Amino acid sequence: MRKYIFLFGFIALGFNLFISGCKGPTGPAGPAGETTVINLDGFKEGIKCGECHNADSDTIYYVTAKKYQWELSKHAWGGDFERSSSTCANCHTTEGFVQAMQGKTVTSHVDASPPGCFACHSPHSTGDFSLRSVAAVTLLSPIQGVADAQFDYGKGNLCAQCHKPRSMSPKADPSKTAMTDTITITSSRWYAHYGVQSQMLMGTGGFKFADYSYTGNSNHTDNTTIKKEGCIVCHMTDATAGSGIAGGHTMNLEYESGSSLTNGCKTSGCHPSSFTVDYIGASSSLTGGLGSHTAVEAYLDTLKNLLLDVNVVNKWNVGAQQAWIVEGTEGFTINAGSGSKALKIRPASRAGALFNFFFVEHDLSKGSHNTRYAIELLKSSIAELKKL
């Protein structure tokens, strides 16, 4: 019962502030003596609540619309916000992300919320929807001998604060090509986590075999519009009115009908109006003309079958005969664990094929982010496993 009285009190207080205008820089405090409202950011002096909390005149920011879009994004429904311990909360929860951006120690949050409005914006403390951070982001290198990279793609830097790799141990090492060089993998997650899109777009973070000649990146990596807007130019483009739900704060490039939202691709100076998403241009000689999605999916499939084939990978296994990947309830993971379940590969460089499989797979764009880079990583990995 107390709880309801408190809630009612809080709503009444909010309404009161709405009527009278907020003056205090710290915003609404709890009823005296009962509780303390912990405000991560505080309220800006003099902000007008009604500019955002009034669906009736919602044409300044369209907050109601953005909320609905966000609710349809995986940010809202993905469910991984319970990864709320201090090592995960900085990317998986709003509370941890705000701490990280404020330079505070990230703590565990049992009562956590997924990446929401207050992660990417701070509307109460700024009075608008400016972005919480657009600073360049350091991308940790998972590859021995390759330096960490600086990701600097304008507003897209905000995305890369979370869509970036985590540290990985041991690092993958392209220089370890001798049969006496063994790598011991003791984790089923020997990869740089899931958010590798920033690395893929930049053309870094993939494993380059020493004897393969790589020819660089697709246009996207250095495209002037993408350098300025980053991920946003494609993922947050407006959907065509009446065509379905995608883009904006859903950040989805696929309408629910399955067709693609390509309005961002057709930004002036980029692709023509006839553009379709399974496109390949300058890299078509790498695939014999197959579309980028078709090619990447085909190469991923070929590589997957090689990694699953004991007759192939056993040439490089030390000790136990075992496939390098295994299918679980949530897709493929590495067939490794601690102690006797360790996966030992020699020469160690050959494990680069395993690394690249997950790198391209976890990018999830099927080559759209950086077609040339993705395809060459896959082709070189396949060639590596076909060596005698």
Scan residues 129-188 and list those touching ligand HEC (CB under 6 A): 129, 131, 155-156, 158-164, 166
206 in the Ramachandran plot: left (φ > 0), alpha (ψ -120 to 50) or beta?
Answer: beta
Which is closer to ligand HEC, CB of 9 or CB of 28? Answer: 28
Using rule CB under 6 A, residue 97 touches ligand HEC: yes
**DSSP structural state of residue 60:** S
Show Cβ contacts of residue 21 under 8 Å, excluding neighbours closer than 6 positions. 46, 48, 49
- Residue number, 47 or 351, with CB nearest to ligand HEC: 47
Closest approach of ligand HEC to the CB of residue 303, in Å: 18
Q: Across the chain, how many H-helices and E-strands are there?
A: 15, 6
Find the binder of ligand HEC among 119, 143, 306, 307 (CB under 6 A): 119
CB of 13 to ligand HEC, least distance (A): 8
Between 16 and 215, name the residue whose CB sits nearer to ligand HEC: 16
Q: Is 109 in the site for ligand HEC (CB under 6 A)?
A: no
Q: Which of 84, 109, 112, 117 binds ligand HEC (CB under 6 A)?
A: 117
Q: Considering the complex, what minimum distance in angstroms separates the CB of residue 217 from ligand HEC? A: 12
Question: What are the backbone dihedrals phi and psi of residue 380, each rounded to the nearest 5 degrees, phi first?
Answer: -70, -35
Q: Which residues, numbered 36-55, are part of the site for ligand HEC (CB under 6 A)?
A: 43, 47-49, 51-53
Span from 123-131, 174-182, 208-216, 336-344 in contact with ligand HEC (CB under 6 A): 123-131
Smallest separation, CB 222 to ligand HEC (Å): 12
Backbone φ, ψ for residue 344 (5° rounding): -115, 125
> 321 vs 310, 342, 350, CA distance in Å?
7, 12, 16
Question: If we measure between CA atoms, which residue out of 212, 215, 217, 216 comes closest to residue 381?
Answer: 212
Binding of ligand HEC at residue 90 (CB under 6 A)? yes
d(CA 41, CA 80): 24
Task: Say if residues 113 and 132 touch (Cβ distance below 8 Å).
Answer: no
Which parts of 210-249 interact with ligand HEC (CB under 6 A)? 220, 226, 230-236, 249
Q: Could you give the CA distance from residue 344 to residue 317 in angstroms, rounded to a whole number?
A: 6
Quote the tokens at residue 165. Answer: 């790799």
143, 192, 251, 382: which one contacts ligand HEC (CB under 6 A)? 251
CB of 2 to ligand HEC, least distance (A): 19
Q: Interface with ligand HEC includes 70 (CB under 6 A)?
A: yes
> Which tokens hold the place of 121?
């914006």
- Choose, by CB under 6 A, the member of 142, 154, 174, 195 that binds ligand HEC: 195
